[in-house]
Each structure stands twice: as C-alpha cells, then as structure tokens.
Copies of this chain bind each other. A is one copy, B any other.
Amino acid sequence: MKTEEKKIEKIYHQAEECPITVFMEQIGGKWKPVIIWVLLLNEVMRFNELDKAIKGISQKMLSQQLKDLEKINIINRKSYPVIPPKVEYRLTKKGKSLKENLTKIMEWSNQNLK
C-alpha cells in the first residue's frame, strides 16, 4: 500500500515538467514537423518554395510557424535587401539534429499507423 502510493507519486513528478510535453508544444502541431522535414531534404529554401512544397499550408501559417521555429533556434532566416524580396531558410545545427528523431518517427508511423 505505502509502496504503491510512493510509486505513483514518483511518476507524478516525472510527468510534471515532462520533456515530451515541451517537445510537443514547441516542435509539434500541424505544420512544424513538416517544415523541418522538408528543410532536412532541401538544405536551403525560399518562402515560395516552402509554400509550394507543403501541401495545404497557407502563407499566414507558413510565416507564423517559421517565426516560431526561428525563435527557438531550429531554423535560420537570411533575407537579402533586393526587390522583389528574397529570403532563404535553412535548418540550424540544432534543427538538423532532429533528423534522427523524425526519421525514427516516420519509420514507426509507416509500420504502425493507418
């Protein structure tokens, strides 16, 4: 009885600041993983290229998600002062380090989901 209570308590604390939750909040969602994946396949991409490459995303969503990912240092934005504008996006080192994780998730998903 006592031991069981303690066991649950331990899990409780682990779930509290769960790193997986943090991950899902920052890298999860409908568009972020796809953006990262597309940038893993293509070193450098411009806004329009990303827009075309990612089916169904709107410009609003794309720009928003890119901003979010830039903030947490997953992608790098390089803009050239030309007209018409030119902006390049690429993954940072941190962003690239997600490759193994995303590949594993992809494999698991292919084998196990619908």
Min CB gap A107→B, angstroms = 8
Knowing A26-B113, A72-B113, say if A53 contacts B20 (CB, 8 Å).
no
Min CB gap A75→B, angstroms = 13
Within 8 Å CB of A20, what residues of B?
33-34, 37, 102, 105-106, 109
Say yes or no for A23: interface residue by CB 8 A criterion: yes
Give the total of A residues in contact with B, Cβ under 8 Å. Answer: 45
B-contact 0/1 string along A88-114, CB 8 Å cutoff:
000000100110111011101110111
Say yes or no for A42: interface residue by CB 8 A criterion: yes
- Chain B residue at minimal CB-CB distance from A74: B112
- Chain B residue at minimal CB-CB distance from A73: B112
Say yes or no for A59: interface residue by CB 8 A criterion: no
A residues sitting closer than 8 Å to B (CB atoms) are 7-8, 11-12, 14-16, 18-24, 26, 28-30, 33-34, 37-38, 41-42, 49, 52-55, 72, 94, 97-98, 100-102, 104-106, 108-110, 112-114
